[in-house]
Structure 1
């Protein structure tokens, strides 16, 4: 099994060197009856937390969407009409992916209780080859942001994506998907390369668990227009037939992944080892935790078999019906959560600490430009993303020794936050009900800032302790080569898998033998 697994891993990352993953847990499977969503973005560039206020826009307002000629698949930017009003939302922003223009987002959560996750998909080569040059239309980040800004339900978010693609087109890097959820349901949306306006969506219900890595939809009804659990472009079935990617007279049902996505080796939509756990194994592990709590999903998101140097942040959110928008809460880890704490933030929070805002570390063009004076003070602060990257690198140098200690500290820190939630949210709700909304927002802001500051202190303490231990015990080593940047295209990044080396036979990998027993 594992030689093929390793081949699939390397095949996958020769196609996509950065990606993202997402979890969906239906409300019948959660401890508090909410729909739960979690995941991360896997981009090299800097990540920072940002809260976007609701806004009213003049009738002639426009926004710029699409990709430039510098993108991996070149395109041309275009302007489209802005909505008269956009909703408040929280997002982890980042500065670069495949040359797309910054700032970018994988999603977040809006005041309407809509959570969005963006996840990679690799479309078949024939579709990629059909893509116009230059391509025009909204790209994955544009679509995620528009759903957060304009959708009042998850279903409406899917419809918005379909409308935008039909009206303006779609620009991409070889395929993509989105997970969109509200307090009632979730949707997986796949958008295809090729410039043909192809997209498909499948509804996720109360009993469903879905892990996207990559995003996938399998069997899909040919009469989907008459089925409320599916949506898609009018040509999603007919185009596959025309290209010979599905035979309507054959014995196999129409399958979106088989028709439109990359096939190879022994991997399928749910199996094959795109990470060190397949989507199927992750789904089964999440389902086995039912009823799932926020702590449980945090553990799944930070699982060291899927959270590594590629994970730019972590997010977990519970979506409840009839909640005050100010009290919508999302847990965010500032970088890969395998060695970084999740902090609680609410949509009512008035600001983000400068230490969690944008910094030059890993920001596009930082190596060739000097600092803009406007960012002088913010750049002078510690950067949460950098601090917890340092924790990651030391921890993963000897994960059998360090990882249990570091994660115990993270759990202890997060448990302290969880223990405060009831009185913080009850107090904020009471203030709102008594007409003291500003005081409620001040309370939420104070608490989120306080925990974020304590998280930074924890991170600095862990870095100093690990640094001292590694050096005093003689474990520190200088680099043996001169190449500081990983070459990508299947090369392995820093991770907490003990002794894993993708160039060695699978049977010689001690952690994989352990994982084989666990799985």
Structure 2
């Protein structure tokens, strides 16, 4: 995989990516703004083991608390409340700046789901990734009831398949209105994965417009904060779903003249072309034989990979920072290291990357370096970023019971540094520290800080700490996959014997124990780095 990534970079001329946070219109074209996400999708015939994969990096200062919401049964004629403002709360019981904006009829029964800032996985192996794709301001109607995170929550509570989720979301948007900026959600089930892009239809209309395109089973796709759906094949219902107003709204708002070929991204995306650097890097890395052109007007919506893709390949892509390539932000940060013989006599010197150079420089760091020498650091929007709240890569496997078929490889903080913890569809209880968000302030009880402290300290001497930290990441990755093989067989046997309660207890302990082991090791790394750097050396 690394060789494929390097081959992809050799063909590039990088441009900074424009990234946006919801509601921050004046920063739409600021390539340094931090709130953005990346989602990679893999069809079941494109993966090495037959699993369907979707994924998500929650890049920005979003909440990092998470919990498993239990499934429930309700009486007839009950309602559920719909919220705005849940993305940046500090705990599940924090209601500051959260508002009830309406209610809808409650389902008779709901499924348990993993409640992350952008809800991501339910007990029936339905999973969702997300990336904000913004679009033009004229499409936004803040009076619409639903933000994207609430639509994800309701879909996971009520649906078992991607197509059902898309249909439900479309109905909710039409009836109650979409009040968010442009969003993409990558919806997967045990058999297929879809990319759904949603926009408002302007301040005078309460509904919204949307289109969804299926990733072919033998293909991979990527969404990275830019609309990508192009021509909609109206008769191909196996690969396309769309709102009944998708063409008329474009005409009414003069975003399409009705004559030229209709392309969704062109009508609604407010972009010159439907890809930038992350999409190109990932697609080209996985299918180098296509010789994709970064200067092209359009890339394929999805590609058939040259080699089948494992979930570990996807995990590796999420660590990518372009180190060792011409786009490496550390390449000009060099020092001279003198060499001495046994008599301590100088016998030469080497020019090396500075020990404190790392691929996540802050804006102040870049400004200082570029003031001292213009062009020292050219900003690149990497896949792994230091401002990541959390990330997950979710596998869905139809040959296993739902309790263990859905598996989220979850990490807090920078995905280029942190280990990943397995959380299953059948998990019902998470470690206590997962209840607290660490984004508003330093909290010793918040899980993210158990990793963030060592991660940040490591960047003080990244060229010296990287090898050791990556060895720890690799150790826990190897351990996670090897332990899971034995563990899943044990859970499957318990389920076959009707011992579901015992199986659930073990599932909860597995995630708790694995989390505890990673936290303990990252605490040891933190102590090691303090001992190494605390005296100023």
Same fold (TM over 0.5): yes
Contact 1:183 1:321 in 2 (8 A): yes
Contact 1:339 1:391 in 2 (8 A): no
Which runs of 5 or more structure 2 residues have no equivalent in the other structure?
Answer: 1-10, 20-26, 89-97, 288-304, 322-381
Query: C-alpha deviations, 1:86-126, integer Å up to 9, x for none?
Result: 1111232xxxxxxxxxxxx3131112211111210121233
Counterpart Cα distance in 1 of 2:13 and 2:478: 39
Query: C-alpha deviations, 1:443-498, integer Å up to 9, x for none?
Result: 222222111110110110111112222234x34xxxxxxxxxxxxxxxxxxxxxxx
SS in 2 for 1:27: coil
SS in 1 for 2:492: helix
What is the CA RMSD across the aligned residues, in angstroms?
A: 2.8
SS in 2 for 1:107: coil
* Structure number with larger C-alpha Rg: 2
Match for 2:398 among 309, 321, 343?
A: 321
Q: 1:97 — aligned with what?
A: none
Contact 1:108 1:116 in 2 (8 A): yes
Counterpart Cα distance in 1 of 2:316 and 2:516: 22
| Alignment pair present for 1:219 and 2:230 | yes
Query: C-alpha deviations, 1:253-308, integer Å up to 9, x for none?
Result: 21111111123xxx62212x4xxxx2121122245673222222111123233122
Which runs of 5 or more structure 1 residues have no equivalent in the other structure?
Answer: 93-104, 368-378, 476-519
Q: How does 1:242-391 map to 2 (within 5 A)?
A: 242-250=252-260, 253-263=261-271, 268-271=273-276, 273=277, 278-287=278-287, 290-304=307-321, 305-327=382-404, 328-359=406-437, 361-363=438-440, 382-391=445-454
Q: How does 1:343-492 map to 2 (within 5 A)?
A: 343-359=421-437, 361-363=438-440, 382-472=445-535, 474-475=536-537
Higher helix share: 1
SS in 1 for 2:134: coil
Match for 2:243 among 229, 233, 236?
A: 233
Q: How does 1:493-508 map to 2 (within 5 A)?
A: none
Q: 2:358 — aligned with what?
A: none
Q: 1:91 — aligned with what?
A: 115
Aligned-residue offset at 1:157:
0.6
Cα distance, 1:357–1:76 mapped onto 2, change above 3 Å: closer
Counterpart Cα distance in 2 of 1:289 and 1:63: 47
SS in 1 for 2:409: strand
TM-score (norm 1): 0.76
Aligned-residue offset at 1:335:
2.5
Aligned-residue offset at 1:332:
0.8
SS in 2 for 1:6: coil
Q: 2:195 — aligned with what?
A: 188
Contact 2:80 2:106 in 1 (8 A): yes
Aligned-residue offset at 1:417:
2.0
| Alignment pair present for 1:142 and 2:133 | no
Using the TM superposition, name which of 7-16 and 186-195 deviates more: 7-16
Contact 2:37 2:130 in 1 (8 A): yes
Counterpart Cα distance in 1 of 2:160 and 2:13: 46
Aligned-residue offset at 1:344:
1.1
Contact 2:228 2:275 in 1 (8 A): no
Counterpart Cα distance in 1 of 2:484 and 2:17: 45
Counterpart Cα distance in 1 of 2:407 and 2:529: 32
Q: 2:60 — aligned with what?
A: 43
